């Protein structure tokens, strides 16, 4: 009740996807108060330079001749890692040298490792463990395909759900020039437009997922088009410079409309303080 009342009284709200915006609207936010800002990636840092891929894979202890399917996430139920592991066997029937590279760590790691062993795919499944954000771009550059198989997880005991509200790793994969396949879950469709900067499959639908992998494997020109569109969208829409400019524009507009803003100097100082806080919070997260 308190959250709903607070939201309904807000004049400006930032949402990271249409999915999140819809939730806010259902909680009482006025449609005109919601500003959707999708992304948050340093395009310059993720842009792949002219680099020897074999040497890069060797540096990261990755197979030099494999078709590397990467996912990067916390190892938690909503990321659908069991779904990916259970799909690799079929993928290897048409991509024999396929490997699944799982970048990240979390409470599901032991479970995932056990699944890989039980399915007989431990030799083609690589768990990197935690990778600092300052190094993760090298993994994107090394892989052939990026996949995010997120799904909605419900906790019926407490009445909550865990869902992907955006999927920033997809923005990073686009910026790094990697073909993307993702589930049509939560806010992901706000990041990936099917057939433009990636391919989508219905959440939890294995045949649909395998169909999209097959499409990319068979149609190299499709993959190249997705990569080119993804790079462009990352730079023109997802880049932090764009996100911060939009935040600044909205905050300045709010300050100008605030009767408490007594002069331009106090208005500018207030906006600058908020932007500095946002920038510092981003840097601490990297």
Tens digit of each residue's pLDDT (9 = 90 or more) over 112-123:
999 999 999 999
Kindly report, residue by residue over 17-27, the tens digit of the pLDDT.
Answer: 999 999 999 88
Same domain, 171 and 273: no
What is d(CA 35, CA 245) in angstroms, rounded to the nearest whole number?
A: 13
- Please state the rounded mean pLDDT for residues 25-49: 91
If asked whether residues 221 and 255 sit together in one domain, one would say no
- Give the global pTM: 0.88
DSSP 8-state symbol, 47? S
Residue 270: pLDDT band with limits 50, 70, 90: low
Q: Rounded to an integer, what distance in angstroms lies between the CA atom of residue 168 and that of residue 240?
A: 12
Beta strands in the chain (DSSP E): 13-15, 34-36, 67-72, 98-103, 125-129, 145-148, 153-155, 160-162, 180-183, 199-201
Last residue of a domain, one of 233, 259, 275: 233
Tokens representing 242 are 């764009």
pLDDT for 260 equals 46
End-to-end CA distance of the chain: 34
Contact call for residues 21 and 15 (beta carbons, < 8 A): yes
Shared domain check, 15 and 83: no
Banded pLDDT at 258 (limits 50, 70, 90): low
Does residue 105 sit in the same domain as residue 209?
yes
Residues 189 and 265 in one domain: no
Count of domains in the chain?
3
* Same domain, yes or no: 160 and 283: no
Both 170 and 252 in one domain: the answer is no
The CATH number linked to 162 is 3.40.50.2000
Alpha helices, DSSP H only, in 184-286? 188-191, 206-218, 220-233, 240-256, 264-285
User: Of 195, 215, 233, which residue constitutes the final position of a domain?
Assistant: 233
Dump pLDDT digits (tens) for 165-224.
999 999 999 999 999 999 999 999 999 999 999 999 999 999 999 999 999 999 999 999
Report which DSSP code applies to 178: -
Same domain, 78 and 123: yes
Residues 246 and 227 in one domain: no
Half-sphere exposure (Cβ direction) of 167: Cα atoms closer than 13 Å = 30
Are 268 and 155 in a shared domain?
no
β-pair type (13-15, 34-36): parallel
Are residues 199 and 68 part of one domain? yes
Q: What is the mean pLDDT of residues 267-276?
A: 55
Determine the Cα–Cα distance for residues 278 and 286; give it in Å rounded to an integer.
Answer: 13
User: Residue 38 CA to chain centroid, in angstroms?
Assistant: 10
Comparing CA positions, the residue from 59, 87, 53 lying closest to residue 71 is 87
Domain match, 105 and 222 both: yes
Q: Tokens 């890692």: give the residue.
A: 81
Residue span of the structural domain in which 32 resides:
1-37
DSSP-derived secondary structure letter, 105:
-
Cα gap 62→112, rounded to integer Å: 19
How is the chain split among helix, strand and coil, in percent rounded to 5? Answer: 55, 15, 30
| Distance from the Cα of residue 21 to its chain's centroid | 17
């Amino acid at each position: 009740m308190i959250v709903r009342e607070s939201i309904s009284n807000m004049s400006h709200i930032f949402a990271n996807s249409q999915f999140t915006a819809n939730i806010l609207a259902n909680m009482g936010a006025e449609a005109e108060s919601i500003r959707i800002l999708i992304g948050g990636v340093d395009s310059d840092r993720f842009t792949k330079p002219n680099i020897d891929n074999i040497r890069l894979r060797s540096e990261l202890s990755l197979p030099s001749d494999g078709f590397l399917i990467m996912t990067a996430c916390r190892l938690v139920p909503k990321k659908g890692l069991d779904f990916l592991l259970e799909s690799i066997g079929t993928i290897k029937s048409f991509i024999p040298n396929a490997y699944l590279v799982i970048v990240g760590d979390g409470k599901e790691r032991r479970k995932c490792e056990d699944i890989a062993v039980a399915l007989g795919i431990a030799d083609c499944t690589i768990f990197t463990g935690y990778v600092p954000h300052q190094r993760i771009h090298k993994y994107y550059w090394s892989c052939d395909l990026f996949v995010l198989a997120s799904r909605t997880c419900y906790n019926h005991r407490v009445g909550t759900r865990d869902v992907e509200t955006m999927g920033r790793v997809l923005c990073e994969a686009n910026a790094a020039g990697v073909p993307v396949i993702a589930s049509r879950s939560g806010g992901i469709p706000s990041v990936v437009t099917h057939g433009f900067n990636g391919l989508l499959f219905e959440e939890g639908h294995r045949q649909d997922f395998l169909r999209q992998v097959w499409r990319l494997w068979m149609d190299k020109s499709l993959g190249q088009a997705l990569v080119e569109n993804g790079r462009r969208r990352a730079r023109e829409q997802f880049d932090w410079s764009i996100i911060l400019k939009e935040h600044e524009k909205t905050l300045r507009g709010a300050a100008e409309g605030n009767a408490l803003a007594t002069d331009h100097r106090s208005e500018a100082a207030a906006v600058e303080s908020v932007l500095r806080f946002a920038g510092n919070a981003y840097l601490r997260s990297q």
